[in-house]
Chains A and B, each alone.
Chain A
Amino acid sequence: MLEIKCPYCGRRSQNEFSYGGDATVKRPKLNKDISDGEWDEFIYYRKNPRGIHLELWHHTSGCRQWFKVKRDTSTHEIVKTFMIEEESQ
């Protein structure tokens, strides 16, 4: 069981959260001509790295806010959590 530090509520059990996917994926800009390949890249392809990964999580049973989590996918260590508007580097 992970313990995740919500930037708003503090340390809480993983039971209260929902995983929201890769936080580095950027939606193609509006009104820009993009190829099918670029849409494929945005919708279907993910990196699935071993090591540090930036993820989106939702505090579903808490403050209901989205935030970013920097997590090591091999050890499950959570390095840091960020508010959604915060710079995560």
Chain B
Amino acid sequence: MTKLTSQMSIGIKVFNGNYFNKSESSLLKIREISDIKIFQITQYKNSKLDISLIKIDNQILSKMSGCVSANFNTRILWSGPKTWIVISKNKNIIDDINKNCSANNFAITDLSHSRMTIQIEGKNAFDVIKKGCPLNLNNFKTNMCANTVFNGITITIDLLDQDKNIFNIMSHRSFADSFYHAITDASLEYGYKIE
């Protein structure tokens, strides 16, 4: 996956953020997560397979709503009943998915080029998300995810680290420009750096 869009490229190369007169310690860091593979795995409604037997990159497919199973390379997000999103730095993750998820029981879709992921880090990251998103984040903990909206744009929020306030937010690539603009606009109050 290559860098996002012309606008974001300009944001990175020319403006590099907006942090004049802001304290360095409170700045938000915004970066695009590229070079990752994203797959949607859907178990067929009539499939009787016990998913607790399945592991992808040694991670289980969680049955719990909003849960993420994760290791350094791969995160598996619960996206809906019998539906998961696999996000991996491992370029060959599809081999592991195909080996464990048979075509009789699962539909596998490559979403790598149809989604874009922005990572936000900083002590005000929660506040930035709260500005455009109606989700109650009070009980949102590390390795929890949710599909929701941000300024009307459908997104998937994935909390990587609650203590360091690191979020991955995924949106459809066609909304990437609007979403990136909405996020940087919401971050102006605190100041942000594009990395």
List the interface of chain A (C-beta within 8 A of B): 1, 8-13, 15-16, 60-65
Contacts and interface: CB of A to CB of B under 8 A. Distances in A.
B149 A64 contact: no
Given A65-B80, A65-B81, A12 B154 contact: no
29 contacts: A8-B80, A8-B81, A9-B65, A9-B66, A9-B147, A10-B65, A11-B136, A12-B134, A12-B135, A12-B148, A15-B149, A15-B152, A16-B134, A16-B147, A16-B148, A61-B148, A61-B149, A61-B154, A62-B80, A62-B146, A62-B147, A63-B65, A63-B79, A63-B80, A63-B83, A63-B147, A64-B83, A65-B80, A65-B81
Contacts of A65: 80-81
Interface string B133-154: 0111000000000111100101
B134 A63 contact: no
Interface of B: 65-66, 79-81, 83, 134-136, 146-149, 152, 154
Contact of B134 (A10, A13, A60): A13
A64 to B, nearest CB: 6
Contacts of B79: 63
Contact of B81 (A1, A10, A13, A63): A63
A51 B17 CA distance: 53
Contacts of B146: 9, 62
B176 to A, nearest CB: 17
Nearest to B155: A61
A16 B147 CA distance: 9
A8 to B, nearest CB: 6
Contacts of B148: 12, 16, 61-62
Given A8-B81, A65-B80, A16 B149 contact: yes
B195 to A, nearest CB: 28
Nearest to B80: A63
Contacts of A1: 134
A81 B96 CA distance: 38
Contacts of A8: 65, 80-81
A58 to B, nearest CB: 12
B33 to A, nearest CB: 21
Contacts of A13: 134-135
Of B83, B147, B154, the most chain A CB neighbours within 10 A belong to B147
A30 B134 CA distance: 42
A19 B80 CA distance: 19
Contacts of B66: 9-10
